[in-house]
Chains A and B, each alone.
Chain A
Amino acid sequence: MEQTLSLRDVNWQTPYGDPLVTTVSFAVLRTALMCSISVAVAFFCGALIATLWRDSQRWLSETIRTMVGVMDGIGAILPALAIASALQLRSEWGTAVLVGLLTWNVVAAFLKDEFSSLDRAAFIEAALVLGASRWQILWQHALPHIAPRLVPLLLGLFAGCAGLMGALGFLGIAGDAKLSLGFMLYDAKSFVQQTPSYFIATFIGFAWVIAIPSALVWLFTKGQKYNSY
């Protein structure tokens, strides 16, 4: 006998009896909030270290360069796994801060390069000659100048942090397991025969968190390509 599947046949509840759409939407928003915190922490630490890197003595700048190289080489997941498991992190806020602390290298390397190129820029020299203060130069000249490259970097970092937090949740290490998209993906596997909609909704929710910033990065970089012609 031929069977047709309609939306009414879909189970709109999680295996725990909660409403599916609300639960997944809440988890997505929570992940987005945590990722924003991670990006803010990474940006703050990266900016601080980039300033140190630029203004410090040779040995310190060499040490920071080596640290950035090492962190680029080993990535953030392994250290995050080690620290989260050693500290037995249970708070999602703590995990967000930890993820931010482990991704500063991306921002620091970017800002150091940008600051170095701005040192020789004619418009900065002109602003200095006209008597602009350090803060005025930073807010009115330097930040608008680097914004077209900084924004895609931060959006990419957001997607990266979402992946990292999802990975930690998937392993059941950090944060409140029930609210983590990563753990929900792992958990949904066990219920795939009874409620496949749970897995599909969670997967789509996670894909949104990754896809939206990635699409924005693509739009930004594409726009810049056209502007440069």
Chain B
Amino acid sequence: MDLSARSHDSGFTVVLGKTILRIVVLLFVLHAAVFLAFDILPEAAYSQLGFAAVKKELLEETRQRMGLTGRLPERYWLSLTHCSRFDFGVSLRTGYPVAELLRRRALDSLPVVFTSLVVTISALLAGSWFYSTKRPSRWHHCVLALSPATLLPQFASASALATGAFFLLGLGTLSPSGLIGKSGRVTDALLITAVALMPAGILFTAAAKTALLMSRRRFVLTYEAIGLPWSRIRVLLQTNILQQMLPLANRALLALLLGTVFAELAFDRPGIGSVLTEAIRSGDQPVAAGWFLAVGGPVIFLSQALAAWNKRFPSAT
């Protein structure tokens, strides 16, 4: 009878059960927090109309329109049932359904986010592959020493890249060839760089440092002793290094998301990131609340799933 297999399965079930429970609780907490923040703390109607222009009838009408009438538990239940059907209400500014607006803007951002994700994963693999060496060269050290520069706050790097693009556009140095422009290739490349710089930097630096450490481990000596060539050892090392990077995946994805928000604002591009800024600046609270619910849910799910994975399958080191 294989007792170890059974204990392994029950351990997995317990971790899975706890994780699902935690995710459900956290999603409820997220919804309650967003509900409290956007529906109760500031009087949404006041913030829409401005304190100077408040008339009782107008205020009541706005409250009716925004679903802010009724008792608190009723309003909470209504909000919860709507959210469970992915109905986040209607934009105050445009009258457009929030869920549909977010879906369309997410589709606009998809090419940039996908390309940035590919760049990020490439940086991870490059760090892991090129630094799996026992004798790092001067170039290895030089690149690794410069890599913390990529951890500059994302809004600052996005701003610098966008300003660089606009400056070049203004001078007209590259514009005759059509390379620079609102949707030119260079601008696209700079936008993707702005989104991917920090997540790629995080993963590259961590993977490179881990690879250097791994390459000096005893099991590598064993591999060498049994006569494995370094090319084969390097391939074997990749699994260990990538497993070590798993706890950072959540942070990198979060950085990718925030990078999209800042880069879209800096480059004046419509997308899932800029919709939040527009909503906040114009006081369109249903859109802002819907954005936080639509984005916060997957972020919580992912962070908890990765934490559970890491707990269940801790890395070899």
Contacts and interface: CB of A to CB of B under 8 A. Distances in A.
A78 B41 contact: no
A193 B283 CA distance: 31
Interface in B131-188: 152-156, 159-160, 162-163, 166-167, 170-171
A83 B42 CA distance: 11
B233 interface: no
Interface stretch (B70-78, B115-123, B208-216, B294-302): B294-302
Interface stretch (A14-22, A40-48, A168-176): A168-176
B163 A171 contact: no
Given A83-B37, A189-B163, A189-B166, A172 B155 contact: no
A73 B305 CA distance: 11
A73 B22 contact: no
A186 B159 contact: yes
Main secondary structure on chain B at its contact with chain A? helix
Contact of A73 (B171, B280, B289, B304): B304
Interface residues of B, number: 47
Specify the main secondary structure of chain A where it touches its partner: helix
Interface residues of A, number: 36
A170 B296 contact: no
Listed from nearest, the 7 A-B pairs whose CB atoms lie closest are A73-B303, A86-B37, A163-B153, A193-B170, A170-B155, A85-B280, A185-B159
A27 interface: no
A182 B155 contact: yes
Nearest to B46: A88
Interface stretch (B53-61, B86-94, B258-266): B258-266
B311 to A, nearest CB: 10
A207 B280 CA distance: 27
Given A70-B300, A171-B265, A193 B37 contact: no
